[in-house]
Structure 1
Amino acid sequence: MTLTAGALCLGGIVLFVCLAAYALLAFDVPGTRSDAALFDAYVWRVARFTLLQASLSTGLSILFAIPVARALARQAGFPGRVWIIRLMALPLGLPALVAALGLIGIWGRQGVLNTAFAALGLDQPVSIYGLSGILLAHVFFNMPLAARLMLGGLERIPGEYWLVGANLGMRPLSIFRFIEWPVIRGLLPGIAGLIFMLCATSFTLVLILGGGPAASTIEVAIYQALRFDFDPPRAIALSLLQIAVTSALLVAIRFLTPTADEGHGGGRRVRRFDGRGRLGRVADGLAIALAVLFVALPLGSVVSAGLRADLLRLAGEPLVRRALVTSIVIALVSGLLCVVATAVMIRARQAVLASRHPSALHRGFASGLSAGSSLVLLVPPVVLGAGWFLLLRPFGDITVFAPLLVILINMLMALPFVYRVLEPAMATHAARTARLAASLGLGGWHRLRFIDWPGLKKPLLMGLSFACALSLGDLGAVALFGSQDMVTLPWLLYSRMASYRSTDAAGLALVLGLVCLVLTIAGTPSAGNDDRRRHDAAA
């Protein structure tokens, strides 16, 4: 039964993706050639800009993350350190539309910085639109991610290393060169590959902050080709190019990421002796303060602008209420489907590998279950939407199918992340309870109720909240299929921004951000206690 359910989930995912790819490859417009569009100068210009902004965004994110991670690792007793690390996690769960509004509030033409420069008699030198705005937004999202990943690696360095460094009288530069840098260098390929993939497939931020065709990524160009120009050959060419780029990135990440080697120790408590001098404390404090300001100011701008909006009037608008209900329903359904499909695929993979001597067919099936969870990274949501847009167009009004397509695409979008949350938790749970369940003869519903649910409730709720938050803030699928009959909160927010109703957009951004924050908190009920225990141990 478990293997059948896993096969059905994997087959459904592969079929959904393959049908979209088939629609792109098989679509033909009389008198046009998609291969000619592939070599169009515009297509290659978009591809060059995509790779350029992704490379610059990755480099800047890592460059700024290194001093922040080192400062947080060295200053274990820094005031509010636990809350600063939590703050670094907020951009990961923040909808891109909300972050874009916050960045515009700080860096935009009428933002805080340009207003201050104008008061000093300067000519508003900061521009949020174009390449500079895209880089700024990507660094806002990805610098905290890189800093947290590096911080985790630095905190895993054995305590003996720091003791030896202190006994040898190592200076800060020597400590960085011989102790910290080898760890960071081992983490860099994986971190850089992940950030590059996120930036190369960026859609919402580029759509909002690109400022025009000169600053368009491949995904934005696909959306424009279908939604505004209705140029299927160009959309097909761009989609194939996007698949080629993401395939190359996934292969590069797979082969360039080394096995982590962070040293071995005897379990001695980590106690760092560097960074205790006045100069070190000032430098680390400055790095942490700048990172906090960079992340907190846009978030504060969203809250401030949202509170100035007429929230009661917005709450009374039928369109706003319908958009909120539609968004929540889509998020809950897609989140539940994502968690169920992920859990079924993981359980099926465990059942296959539990055999002492699995056949080549079984090993291939297990590998397919694991790879199927990451299939959306190969064929991004906008490409999937483009394929289904072309596939369903002959059947009439596409908006009839819009809710189902948005739910399925959002489910696939969250699948890789939920898989990485549930897989280690389910593996540990299976190792601890498999023999107990077998000895008691429990299976099916009774095992789920009495053994699996109590042990897996927290990771399942975490995966559900994360999937719901991703779906709630997504604009990619809705941008293609949204209409007057199906309006979500992100789509309504984008529409208000496009019509220069900035006050309403600020209020909607606050509501959207708060709902996503509630979902994130609901899925991590014990995160605070874990952070406090780690902080006490470090102190």
Structure 2
Amino acid sequence: MAERTQPLAASCARAPKGWAGSDIAGAGLAGAVWPGAGVATFLVLLTLGAVVAVALRAGSGGALAASDWAAVRFTLGQALVSALLSVALAVPLARALARRRFFGRGLVITLLGAPFLLPTLVAVLGLLAVFGRNGLVNSWLAMLGLGPVQIYGPQGVVLAHVFFNLPLATRLILQGWLAIPSERFRLAASLGFAPGDLFRRLEWPMLREVLPGCLLVIFLICLTSFAVALTLGGGPRATTIELAIYQAFRFDFDLGRAARLAALQFLICAAAAVVALWVTTPAAIGGGLDRTVQRWDAGRLWPWDALIIAAAMLFLMLPLGTVVAAGLPQLLSLPEVVWRAAGRSVLVALASTALCLAMGLVLALAILQVRRGAGVLLDTAGMLSLAASPLVIGTGLFLIAYPLVDPSRLALPVTALVNAAMALPFALRALLPALRQAERDFGRLATSLDMTGITRLRLVLLPRIRRPLGFAGGLAAALSIGDLGVIVLFAETGSATLPMQLQRLMGAYRMADAAGAALLLLVLSLAAFWILDRSGRANAAT
């Protein structure tokens, strides 16, 4: 999760006063404005246009049924419980990592990023191997003479969301802990602060600033969960809004009901995003001298910290280990349909990644040139996809395409397009700080040498943004390969991607083939991220 949180944190810092729209950027990147405006317009049309199409269709039907409102209540309830549990468990884990220095600490923090890159269905299969009816936990409970635990239903949805979001919450809170200057801890030690005093005077003020934003971000993520609810939820008691949209499409073909649910989903997500922006406050901890933090208060607490870190890593890594162990014997004997689905997933990921990077780079260059107000508008256009889930955008595109062409013929292109739009905010957050730094460092020199346009981009900017460009590409590719969202609205048998084929194998209880397909999906996702991320680092001296 480090790769995700670092560009997000870096992007929150404002550009230096007077830099955006400066003569330096304007002189060198004058041709970037209109392409950037075109990308922004396209994103607005894609996101808001799809929502408008949904709203128009929703106005042609009746009111939502009681089951739909039950789905709304469950969606809000599970998102709130998942966010609270993730944050509550992340606080002691982040505190233990913040005050401990041990061999392998960097690897532990890096591994916290694995669940974010992990395809949802792979994680679900791993959780089933650990907590399912015949899983490891129930086997241990049976040996102790205890009854089994049940993973299907609301508890399974919450468990999966905690698995995905505990690492994210930990990294966000850990950044807050590491932001406390070392001098504050030195002063606390010289004053003889007890652990309780230290928490009350230093740590709690930081948590009071970090926790609300962290809680709302995870709440927003859980609101748009689809694959988790599809595999572990279902039924009247565990149906989310997105799962209800899918059911209205695939089983009832009730486009009006699906449109009304999609419009309601967009309104809820937009409201949550606005609240997150309103509640999140800037840090007011103060500055320091960037010295290494030393914690004199942690001498007697190391057994508790070690236990917390070990338990968290066991919870996060054990499902991955079971997926690898179960999938290896089946990998080479997978049916041909799985390999074809894998090939389609790779092609969709390549197209999605190329489109995401192209839009992100053009939009970032345009933001650098224009004045601050126009830059905010362009940046907002790049972030619009966060307010609408892929299923909502897919619903709108389906409604637009349905009268004109068979939507199944557009399954793969639409999937690539929506995946690119959903990954664009992360790419933009990675590219903007690096481009700003490159212009600050070399902009005046490049302008004095009359380097503009493509020449400036090729010789000055691109060599210095290879790292974030490679990271953004790897992230977009991994997310696209593992996505199970809009494809379920469009795809037929001959156009299924690997996540959709894996879901079908699980639904048919072909668990041996599903284990092999899950391992293949895991390998493809991690390999795509590693290859593109490493390509950005190779021979990149800056």
Q: Is TM (by shorter chain) over 0.5?
A: yes
Partner of 1:281: 302
Q: How is 1:67-466 mapped onto 2 (pairs within 5 angstroms)?
A: 67-76=92-101, 78-124=102-148, 126-277=149-300, 280-309=301-330, 311-314=331-334, 317-353=335-371, 364-466=373-475
Partner of 1:356: none
Inter-partner Cα distance in structure 2 for 1:227 and 1:487: 15
Partner of 2:77: 52
Is 493-502 or 232-241 further displaced after alignment?
A: 232-241
- Aligned identity (percent) is 43
Residue 402 of structure 1, CA deviation: 1.4
The change in CA–CA distance for 1:484 and 1:136 in structure 2 (over 3 A counts) is same
Residue 503 of structure 1, CA deviation: 0.9
Residue 17 of structure 1, CA deviation: 2.2
Count how many residue pairs are aligned between Structure 1 and Structure 2.
508
Instruction: Tell me which amino acid in the other structure corresponds to 1:504.
Output: D
Match for residue 470 of structure 1 among 449, 458, 479: 479
Residue 28 of structure 1, CA deviation: 7.2
What is the CA deviation profile of residues 166-189 of structure 1, one whole-angstrom value per residue up to 9, with x for unaligned ones?
112212122112111211221112
Inter-partner Cα distance in structure 2 for 1:22 and 1:501: 40
Contact 2:473 2:529 in 1 (8 A): no
Inter-partner Cα distance in structure 2 for 1:254 and 1:395: 39
Inter-partner Cα distance in structure 1 for 2:368 and 2:326: 49
Contact 2:466 2:536 in 1 (8 A): no
Contact 1:473 1:512 in 2 (8 A): yes
Inter-partner Cα distance in structure 1 for 2:429 and 2:90: 23
Residue 521 of structure 1, CA deviation: 2.4
Structure 1 residue 42 and structure 2 residue 67: aligned?
Answer: yes
Match for residue 2 of structure 1 among 32, 55, 59: 32
Inter-partner Cα distance in structure 2 for 1:446 and 1:413: 30
Instruction: Tell me which amino acid in the other structure corresponds to 2:365.
Output: R
Residue 37 of structure 1, CA deviation: 2.4
Inter-partner Cα distance in structure 2 for 1:67 and 1:99: 24
Partner of 1:21: 51
Three-state SS of the structure 2 residue aligned to 1:374 is: helix
Inter-partner Cα distance in structure 1 for 2:199 and 2:505: 49
Three-state SS of the structure 1 residue aligned to 2:252 is: coil
Inter-partner Cα distance in structure 1 for 2:327 and 2:211: 38
Q: Show structure 1 runs of 5+ residues with no match.
A: 354-362, 530-539
Instruction: Tell me which amino acid in the other structure corresponds to 1:346.
Output: A
Instruction: Tell me which amino acid in the other structure corresponds to 2:316.
Output: V
Inter-partner Cα distance in structure 1 for 2:88 and 2:318: 21
Residue 374 of structure 1, CA deviation: 1.4
Inter-partner Cα distance in structure 2 for 1:67 and 1:292: 13
Contact 2:119 2:522 in 1 (8 A): yes
The change in CA–CA distance for 1:523 and 1:212 in structure 2 (over 3 A counts) is same
Inter-partner Cα distance in structure 1 for 2:198 and 2:70: 44
Residue 524 of structure 1, CA deviation: 4.0
Contact 1:37 1:43 in 2 (8 A): no
Contact 2:470 2:534 in 1 (8 A): no
The change in CA–CA distance for 1:68 and 1:328 in structure 2 (over 3 A counts) is same
What is the CA deviation profile of residues 402-433 of structure 1, one whole-angstrom value per residue up to 9, with x for unaligned ones?
12211111111111111111111111112112
Contact 1:37 1:233 in 2 (8 A): no
Contact 2:468 2:536 in 1 (8 A): no
Q: Show structure 2 runs of 5+ residues with no match.
A: 1-30
Structure 1 residue 480 and structure 2 residue 504: aligned?
Answer: no
Instruction: Tell me which amino acid in the other structure corresponds to 1:49.
Output: F
Residue 500 of structure 1, CA deviation: 0.5
Residue 152 of structure 1, CA deviation: 1.6
Inter-partner Cα distance in structure 1 for 2:412 and 2:292: 53
Residue 522 of structure 1, CA deviation: 2.9
Inter-partner Cα distance in structure 1 for 2:57 and 2:218: 33
Inter-partner Cα distance in structure 1 for 2:291 and 2:126: 44
Residue 528 of structure 1, CA deviation: 11
Is 441-450 or 368-377 further displaced after alignment?
A: 441-450
In the superposition, the TM-score normalised over structure 1's length comes to 0.91
Residue 128 of structure 1, CA deviation: 1.0
The change in CA–CA distance for 1:527 and 1:408 in structure 2 (over 3 A counts) is closer
Instruction: Tell me which amino acid in the other structure corresponds to 1:47.
Output: V
Three-state SS of the structure 1 residue aligned to 2:402 is: helix
Three-state SS of the structure 1 residue aligned to 2:350 is: helix
Inter-partner Cα distance in structure 2 for 1:17 and 1:470: 19
Partner of 2:512: 503
Instruction: Tell me which amino acid in the other structure corresponds to 1:57.
Output: S
Residue 365 of structure 1, CA deviation: 3.3
Match for residue 11 of structure 1 among 41, 48, 52: 41
Contact 1:458 1:523 in 2 (8 A): no
Residue 523 of structure 1, CA deviation: 4.1
Inter-partner Cα distance in structure 1 for 2:111 and 2:55: 44
Inter-partner Cα distance in structure 2 for 1:169 and 1:467: 49
The change in CA–CA distance for 1:450 and 1:328 in structure 2 (over 3 A counts) is same
Residue 195 of structure 1, CA deviation: 0.4
Partner of 1:535: none
The change in CA–CA distance for 1:528 and 1:141 in structure 2 (over 3 A counts) is farther
